[in-house]
């Protein structure tokens, strides 16, 4: 998504453990709660004197690790998965909303969600629960923004089965740990996974649509 931002003069800050070539990088492990206050401070600093027209926070961080049944995988790894998938979107979303109160710019929060929010995938319990939590946070915080007349619009987008490194990880999983693996292997073999660039363009285009604040959009479902 960073490489396909539709705003020619946009400044992009990549918040992650590993940076992207060509973009400003703020190193942070979003599965570690100790990093969240630092990211909140970054939002506050960047937005306080922001003179642009639009500020967008895209939360795309997520993990499937460890793939396996609850109660059977590493407890430490499972805890990190819960923190990254469930807690970090809410805490960092809250931080961005606080910072957005200090600017007159149009502000957006875009959370990358998944059909796993409402479908049961054995082996993905923390991932499924995290996406469900993300969706309901977006719905609720979006409704709150609407009530307060806030300038920040919230959106969660499920882009579909996009051909990314995560899909390769899924296809490599064992049936014992992830019983639905054959479905994803078949989608790949039939070339039915989505192109990442096309998915990114569709996500960016949603910011120009008149969507309800707190909308959950599934890109597999045709627009009204």
Catalytic residues: 127
Contacts of 198 (CB under 8 A, 6+ apart): none
Q: Are 171 and 188 in contact (CB under 8 A)?
A: yes
Q: Which two tokens stand for residue 113?
A: 């969600």
Q: How many CB atoms lie within 10 A of CB 159?
A: 23
Q: What span, in angstroms and rounded, lies between the C-alpha atoms of 149 and 89?
A: 22
Residue 96: which H helix or E strand, with range? helix 88-100
Q: Distance of CA 163 to CAs 7, 29, 43, 197, 200, Å?
A: 25, 24, 30, 10, 12
Burial 193-218 (b: 16+ CB within 10 A, else e): bbebeebbebbbebbeeebebbbbbb
């Amino acid at each position: 998504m960073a490489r396909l931002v539709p705003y020619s003069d946009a400044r992009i800050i990549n918040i992650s453990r590993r940076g992207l070539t060509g973009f400003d990088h703020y190193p942070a492990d979003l599965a570690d709660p100790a990093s969240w206050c630092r990211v909140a401070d970054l939002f506050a600093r960047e937005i306080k004197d922001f003179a642009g027209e639009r500020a967008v926070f895209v939360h795309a961080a997520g993990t499937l690790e460890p793939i396996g049944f609850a109660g059977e995988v590493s407890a430490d790894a499972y805890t990190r998965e819960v923190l990254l998938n469930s807690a970090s979107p809410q805490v960092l979303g809250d931080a961005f909303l606080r910072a957005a109160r200090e600017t007159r710019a149009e502000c957006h929060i875009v959370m990358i969600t998944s059909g796993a929010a409402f479908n049961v995938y054995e082996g993905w319990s923390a991932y499924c629960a995290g996406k469900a939590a993300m969706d309901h946070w977006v719905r609720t915080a979006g409704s709150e923004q609407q009530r307060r007349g806030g300038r920040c619009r919230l959106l969660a987008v499920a882009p579909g089965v996009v051909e990314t490194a995560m899909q390769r990880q899924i296809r490599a999983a064992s049936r014992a740990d992830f019983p639905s693996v054959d479905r994803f292997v078949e989608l790949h073999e039939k070339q039915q996974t989505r192109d990442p660039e096309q998915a990114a363009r569709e996500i960016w285009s949603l910011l120009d649509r008149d969507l309800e604040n707190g909308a959950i959009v599934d890109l597999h479902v045709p627009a009204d």
